């Protein structure tokens, strides 16, 4: 890869993540596509172009995540942009939600994002520049009543809280924000959804390229700030 800015996108081999990967590549980024299935990721990366490289990154397994982070840092010592996109949707209602199912959702949707945010934000602080985008949801917003499936709303609300705390923890040209992509036609959103993956990705791509005077620690939809 050349000297372009480097972005890491988790869950980048399909849906909104893939649209973000493509959009960042089109804007001149070198993109590291994180995915659980490396052969699928390699195929997707090859189809996009030479400035996209797939890496294995399974957020559900602690040991695998640590190995992956070490591998990514060895290959790409300077990550300028992190997009925490990977997520899971557990649909069990609160009354039937098991502790195991809740913790699985928390692990992928919140705890892994915390770990990656901390890991790369510390590097970004040393480098003097960084943009972190957390793909959240209106279902994780207290302002919207937390009306989504129980584990999803709880885990995305946690992701929102982590975004705010992380943003308060770094000064300088480090921007850490969350965004809601809306209802998007993906495996998770279903084919009845009102937005294409490209439309869902627009705000994430915009947040990845914020100027130095832009806000941090905020929640966005359609490039406009919304309430937590």
Q: Which CATH class is domain 6-226?
A: alpha beta
Q: What is the Cα–Cα distance from 103 to 112, expressed in whole angstroms?
A: 12
Q: End-to-end CA distance of the chain, in Å?
A: 38
φ, ψ of residue 174 to 5 degrees: the values are -115, 120
The chain-wide mean pLDDT, for the chain, equals 93
Q: Is 209 a residue whose pLDDT tops 70?
A: yes
Nearby residues of 4 by Cβ (< 8 Å), 6 or more positions away = 28, 29, 30, 51
Which residue(s) pair with 82 in the sheet? 8, 132
Break the chain into its structural domains and give their ranges: 6-226
**For 73, phi and psi rounded to 5 degrees?**
-65, -30
pLDDT above 80 (res 197): no
* pLDDT tens per residue, range 9-23: 999 999 999 999 999
pLDDT digits (tens, 9 = 90+) for 134-189: 999 999 999 989 999 999 999 999 999 999 999 999 999 999 999 998 756 666 66
**The predicted structure's pLDDT at residue 1:** 44
pLDDT recorded at residue 43: 96
Indicate the pLDDT class of residue 194, thresholds 50, 70 and 90.
low
Query: What letters, b where the CB count within 10 A reaches 16 and e where it falls short, cover 48-62?
Result: beebbbbbbbbbeee
Confirm if 177 and 219 have CB atoms less than 8 A apart. yes
Flag whether pLDDT at 195 surpasses 90. no
Helix (H) or strand (E) holding 220: strand 219-221
**Residue 190, pLDDT score:** 67
Query: Closest by alpha carbon to 208, among 177, 180, 187?
Result: 177
| Residue 64 · residue 58 · CB < 8 Å | yes
Q: What is the pLDDT of residue 61?
A: 79
Query: Where residue 66 falls among pLDDT bands split at 50, 70, 90?
Result: confident
Position 37 pLDDT exceeds 50? yes
Is 152 assigned a catalytic role? yes
Alpha helices per DSSP H over the chain? 15-26, 38-48, 62-75, 99-106, 112-127, 150-169, 197-208
Contacts of 50 (CB under 8 A, 6+ apart): none
Rounded Cα distance between 218 and 77, Å, is 27
Bridge partners of 77, per DSSP, are none
pLDDT for res 185 = 62
Read off the pTM: 0.94
Which residues face 177 on adjacent strands?
133
Name the active-site residue from 119, 129, 152, 170: 152
Fill in the DSSP letter of residue 76.
-
Mean pLDDT of all residues in 37-46 = 95
């Amino acid at each position: 890869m050349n000297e372009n800015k480097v972005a890491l996108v988790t869950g980048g081999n399909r849906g909104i993540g893939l649209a973000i990967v493509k959009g960042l590549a089109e804007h001149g980024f070198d993109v590291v596509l994180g995915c659980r299935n490396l052969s699928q990721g390699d195929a997707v990366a090859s189809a996009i172009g030479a400035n996209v490289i797939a890496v294995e990154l399974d957020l559900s397994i602690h040991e695998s995540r640590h190995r992956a982070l070490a591998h990514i840092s060895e290959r790409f010592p300077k990550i300028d942009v992190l997009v925490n996109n990977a997520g899971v949707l557990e649909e069990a209602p609160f009354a039937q939600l098991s502790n195991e199912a809740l913790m699985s959702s928390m692990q992928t949707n919140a705890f892994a994002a915390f770990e990656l945010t901390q890991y790369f934000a510390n590097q970004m602080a040393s480098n003097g520049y960084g943009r972190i985008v957390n793909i959240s949801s209106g279902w994780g917003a207290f302002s919207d009543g937390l009306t989504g499936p129980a584990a999803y709303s709880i885990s995305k609300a946690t992701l929102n809280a982590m975004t705010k705390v992380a943003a308060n923890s770094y000064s300088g040209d480090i921007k850490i924000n969350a965004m809601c992509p809306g209802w998007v036609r993906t495996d998770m959103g279903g084919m009845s959804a009102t937005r294409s993956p490209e439309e869902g990705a627009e705000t994430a791509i915009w947040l990845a390229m914020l100027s130095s005077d832009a806000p941090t620690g905020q929640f966005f939809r359609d490039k406009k700030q919304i309430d937590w």
